[in-house]
Structure 1
Amino acid sequence: MEFARRLQPLQRNVFADMDRAKAQAIAAGTPILDLSLGSSDLSPPPEVLAAIAAAVADPRTHGYGLHHSTLPFREAAAAWYTRKFGVAVDPATEVLLLIGSQEGTGHLPLALLNPGDVALLCDPCYPSHRGGIYLAGGEIYGMPLAPDHGFLPQFGDIPGSVLDRAKCMVLSYPHNPTTALAPLAFFEEAVAFCQRHDLVLIHDFPYPDFSFAPDPVPSVLQADPGKTCSIELFSLSKSFHMGGFRVGYAIGNRAIIEALGQVKGAIDFNQYQGILRGAIVALTGDQRSVVAMAQIFRERRDRGVAHLQALGWTVPLPPATPYVWAPLPTPWHRNSMAFCTQLAASTGVVLAPGIGFGPAGEGYGRFALVHDLPLLTTALDRIGTFLATQSPPK
């Protein structure tokens, strides 16, 4: 049996690789503490769950959800966006419901790229950014992110021969996995660059409420309020802990929104209406739960990094996101996959290896701070024992 060549680049995936490592540890009887996935351990706000529960008994929610039926959600999303970022949004033409922001990064390349076209991606980046490009037959040019540039891409380093074939650029700040923030001035530079080179600017934006800096996180559309070339993807998975409900939206340039909607219309309908009712409650509520969530993750970050440093592991304090992006100790810095698989087998603690996010991620491990402090402390103590007793394979 022969399968499509487009599957070849998808043979490896950081989360699938670590899922196999988890399965092997479980089979060996090792208890798992999973810090590899950014799946929040907190629950959605009670009023969100109540709205979803009440919808189950309403027969009007039981049918297919076509695009027109999502208008109340799109109106709530547009209003939330305007309140938060001060950018006017037309819910009829500039918002599209998504099954999480990952659907947007996966499907947008199908609307934008012909085989052989180039997409400019951060390196490292979230894996679905690469997956959508591969499925569309596109080619990837990695923009290396380095700590001496604040993990921001250097647009001036992109060769003209690449730009001649490029159709889009994908950014994501606050950044997963590096935890970096981008100032509004950077987005203004990115928008001007994309306008100059006729590129679509895609901004994956699931972490606007996960900054620990004093200033609010900017949206790319604050740098492109006319929505000349930009589209932003937001997910309720992080801010409202609705990861399993798979709800988010795209917002931005109406032509790009329409093109993405054409792809979506050929592939799926929308979520259950009850989930959208809960999402509307989340977006229109008082946001106190969002503020409380940020404080919980700030404490986990502070305590977790302090614990790692007490173990002798030098780790910078993340400015944003629910992650720690940790340079691996010297003996392991050339093989993050070996470090993470051996750590899982020996201790049951599961991290995400940096190489899984791109070549520039080698030498790092990503911690997801998705357990309460007692469990997080247990996991870090196990890591300390591992560091003291284990060495890399020859």
Structure 2
Amino acid sequence: MHFANRLQALEKNVFADMDRAKSQAISNGKTIIDLSLGSSDLPADQEAIKAIASSLEDPSTHGYLLHHGTLKFRETVAQWYDKRFGVEVDPHTEVLTLIGSQEGTAHLPLALLDPGDFALLLDPGYPSHAGGVYLAGGQIYPMPLLAENDFLPVFADVPSQVLEQAKMMVLSYPHNPTTATASLGFFEQAVAFCQEHGLVLVHDFPYVDIVFEGMVQPPSILQADPTKSLSIEFFTLSKSYNMGGFRIGYAIGNLEIIQALRRVKAVVDFNQYRGILNGAIAALNGDQTTVERTVTRFQTRRDAFIKALHNIGWHVTPPQATMYVWAKLPQAWENKSVEFCTELVAATGVAVSPGAGFGKQGEGYVRFALVHDPDILELAVQKIDQFLGSVNILR
């Protein structure tokens, strides 16, 4: 049987390999402590749950939901952005409801790229950004994120021949997996760079709320491009409101880009259940106690996990944002992140994500997701220490 050539670029998936490794460990009797996936273990926003529950009793919510039926949600998003970032948004033309933000970031290249066009992506970066480019027949230019540059790309390093064929650049700060943050000044440089070279600027923004003590509120890309000349931003309620399984997000920004993405979306799906949108409206309009509790919980976990790592001699800088810890591997494993992760889960049941799964520049690192409470995280570190043999391996 013959399948489309576009699938060839999608054959390698480190996370699918890790899933198989976890399954094998379970079959061998291991109890899994899964720190490999950024899927929050915390309960969804209670106001959202109440709104969804009440919607179930309303038969008018049970049918297909077309674009015009999402207006109340889009109006809520526009009001939220104005209140949060001081950016005025037209809910009719500058907001698009999505079935999770990953739907939008994966579909957008279909609206922007012709076969052979380049997309500038972060390396390491979130895997679905690359997947959408491959499906559109585009080429990827990976912008290296290095520790010495605070895990920010250097725009001047992009070759001119690549820029001649490039149509879009994707950023995402606070960043998954490195946990790096970016200033408004950095985004203003990015906007100027994209204006100079005729690029659409895409910002994936799921961790806007997951920032810790002393950290300045992460800026929206629309603050750097208030006229929305070439920018689009993606947001999801998966992280701030623990609604990952409900698949609710949105795109916001330049009306022409929003319209182009809407045209792609129109041939793929309608929208999710109206009750989920009602829940999202309740969450965005609520008192934000869910967000505050979530941030406090992740900060407590971060502190406990970092302390435990330091106690076994694995020294990692505490992240200022996100629900992850990005850790450079001990020297003996520095170019073997996949091997480290597969052998670790086989030996101990502790599952973490190999840095190589996020791109070439991720090699030599692993990503821990803080999706368990401190006692479980500390147990995971004990098992990691046993796997490494002794603290002397780390020192």
Q: Structure 1-normalised TM-score?
A: 0.98
Task: Tell me the percent identity.
Answer: 62
Cross-structure match for 1:321: 322
How far off is 1:391 after superposition?
12
Cross-structure match for 1:387: 388
- 1:149-175, Cα deviation, whole Å (9 max, x unpaired): 110000000110000000000000000
How far off is 1:214 after superposition?
2.9
| Whole-Å separation in 1 of the counterparts to 2:37 and 2:14 | 10
- Determine whether 1:13 maps to 2:13: yes
| Whole-Å separation in 1 of the counterparts to 2:391 and 2:322 | 30
Cross-structure match for 2:218: 217
AA at the equivalent of 2:385: G
How far off is 1:23 after superposition?
0.6
Contact 2:30–2:348 (8 Å) recurs in 1: yes
Cross-structure match for 1:251: 252
Cross-structure match for 2:40: 40
- 1:27-56, Cα deviation, whole Å (9 max, x unpaired): 111000100000001111212111111111
| Whole-Å separation in 2 of the counterparts to 1:48 and 1:266 | 29
SS in 2 for 1:255: helix
Contact 1:145–1:360 (8 Å) recurs in 2: yes
| Whole-Å separation in 2 of the counterparts to 1:8 and 1:45 | 40
AA at the equivalent of 1:132: G
| Whole-Å separation in 2 of the counterparts to 1:389 and 1:24 | 26
Cross-structure match for 2:59: 59
Contact 1:331–1:391 (8 Å) recurs in 2: no
Cross-structure match for 1:158: 158
Contact 2:51–2:278 (8 Å) recurs in 1: yes
How far off is 1:301 after superposition?
0.8
Cross-structure match for 2:335: 334
| Whole-Å separation in 1 of the counterparts to 2:82 and 2:191 | 20
Higher mean C-alpha deviation, range 226-235 or range 210-219: 210-219
AA at the equivalent of 1:4: A
AA at the equivalent of 1:54: S
- 1:54-113, Cα deviation, whole Å (9 max, x unpaired): 111110110001000000110111111111111000000000001111111100000000
- 1:10-34, Cα deviation, whole Å (9 max, x unpaired): 1122321211111110111100010
| Whole-Å separation in 1 of the counterparts to 2:392 and 2:318 | 26
How many equivalent residue pairs? 392
| Whole-Å separation in 2 of the counterparts to 1:160 and 1:352 | 34
Q: Structure 2-normalised TM-score?
A: 0.98
| Whole-Å separation in 2 of the counterparts to 1:270 and 1:207 | 23
AA at the equivalent of 2:147: P
How far off is 1:381 after superposition?
1.1
AA at the equivalent of 1:253: N
How far off is 1:303 after superposition?
1.2
| Whole-Å separation in 2 of the counterparts to 1:176 and 1:13 | 17
Contact 1:15–1:37 (8 Å) recurs in 2: no
CA-atom RMSD in angstroms: 1.3
| Whole-Å separation in 2 of the counterparts to 1:215 and 1:375 | 30
Cross-structure match for 2:132: 132
**Can you give the 5+ residue segments of structure 1 that lack an aligned partner in the other structure?**
none
| Whole-Å separation in 1 of the counterparts to 2:22 and 2:390 | 21
- 1:340-388, Cα deviation, whole Å (9 max, x unpaired): 0000000000000000000000000000001111111111111111111
| Whole-Å separation in 2 of the counterparts to 1:85 and 1:14 | 37
Contact 1:335–1:362 (8 Å) recurs in 2: yes
SS in 2 for 1:237: coil
How far off is 1:191 after superposition?
0.3
| Whole-Å separation in 2 of the counterparts to 1:286 and 1:80 | 12
Cross-structure match for 1:370: 371
Cross-structure match for 2:123: 123
Cross-structure match for 2:287: 286
Cross-structure match for 2:22: 22
Contact 1:235–1:247 (8 Å) recurs in 2: yes
- Determine whether 1:114 maps to 2:114: yes
| Whole-Å separation in 1 of the counterparts to 2:318 and 2:377 | 16
SS in 2 for 1:143: strand
- 1:245-274, Cα deviation, whole Å (9 max, x unpaired): 000000000000000000000100100011
Contact 1:101–1:250 (8 Å) recurs in 2: yes
**Can you give the 5+ residue segments of structure 2 that lack an aligned partner in the other structure?**
none
Closer, same or farther: CA 6–391 of 1 in aligned 2, 3 Å: farther
| Whole-Å separation in 1 of the counterparts to 2:120 and 2:130 | 10
